[in-house]
Amino acid sequence: MVIVAPSLLSSDLFALSDQLKTIKASPAQYLHVDIMDGHYVPNINFGDKFVSEVRAHTDLTLDCHIMVQDPEQVVFDVAKAGGDILTFHPETTQHAYRLIEEIHKLGKKAGIAFDPALGIAAYEDLFPIVDQVLVMTVSPGFGGQTFIENMLGKIAAVKKLQQENNYHFDIEVDGGINAQTGQQCVTSGANVLVAGSFVFKNDIQTAIAQLSQLQ
Ligand code: DX5
Ligand code: ZN
């Protein structure tokens, strides 16, 4: 029931081929790829070339988390490279509604991500058309940070709106997710768990299995 999305930010890039095989043999359904610009977030990492390389080696859903100012500049390249879900931070663009529509025109899924400091109210008008709402449970930019427990209320608020209005989006959480915090998020309404350090700093298969069994 719960979808597990191992975050490749914490993977061993020199062993990625083996790690992808291990993940393939696990219950994980997504691979989470963080794309950062050193501007919206204070870190730089993967881009569309990496997405296309990973695409060539997996049939798992590529869940692309775009932490970039003016996401129009990279979203389409990431889509072309084989990203399946394109999630951006709505405050990084003037035209979030249009960007979601354009992602849909490409036959891709569109998501919006909420920084811990960003309330959902200003972006509720996007909820009827998005495929995924990502509630960040750390400040975006780095792996290995501590889960912000205050975000559980935001997850529950998103879940409440989803149920009241029959919205179809998935509710994803990202940052500091392990078996304990993952359980808290699932209890609050999340159904997609991103996990970087917890997966790659432990036995990959065991960690993914633990997360996938949460309910
Ligand atoms: C942080 C990224 C996360 C990161 C999570 O900005 O969006 O996807 O990889 O790492 P952990 O699970 O270690 O907090
Ligand atoms: Zn992420």
Which ipTM score applies to this complex?
0.99
What pLDDT digit, counting tens, does each position of 124-177 carry? 999 999 999 999 999 999 999 999 999 999 999 999 999 999 999 999 999 999
- Phi/psi for 194 (5° steps) reads -90, 135
Number of separate domains in the chain: 1
Model confidence, pTM: 0.98
Q: What share of the chain is helix, strand, coil (3-state, %, to 5)?
A: 40, 20, 35
Ligand 2 centroid to Cα of residue 38, in Å, is: 14
Does 189 belong to an annotated binding site?
no
196 lines ligand 1 (CB under 6 A): yes
Helix (H, G, I), strand (E, B) or coil at 208: helix
- Show which residues are catalytic: 34, 174
C-alpha 86 – ligand 2 centre gap (Å): 11
- Per-residue pLDDT tens digits for 68-98: 999 999 999 999 999 999 999 999 999 999 9
CATH number for 129 = 3.20.20.70
Give the Cα separation of 183 and 178 in Å (integer). 8
- Mutate which of 134, 174, 177, 193 for ligand 1 pocket (most atoms within 8 A of beta carbon): 174
Boundaries of domain holding 84: 3-212
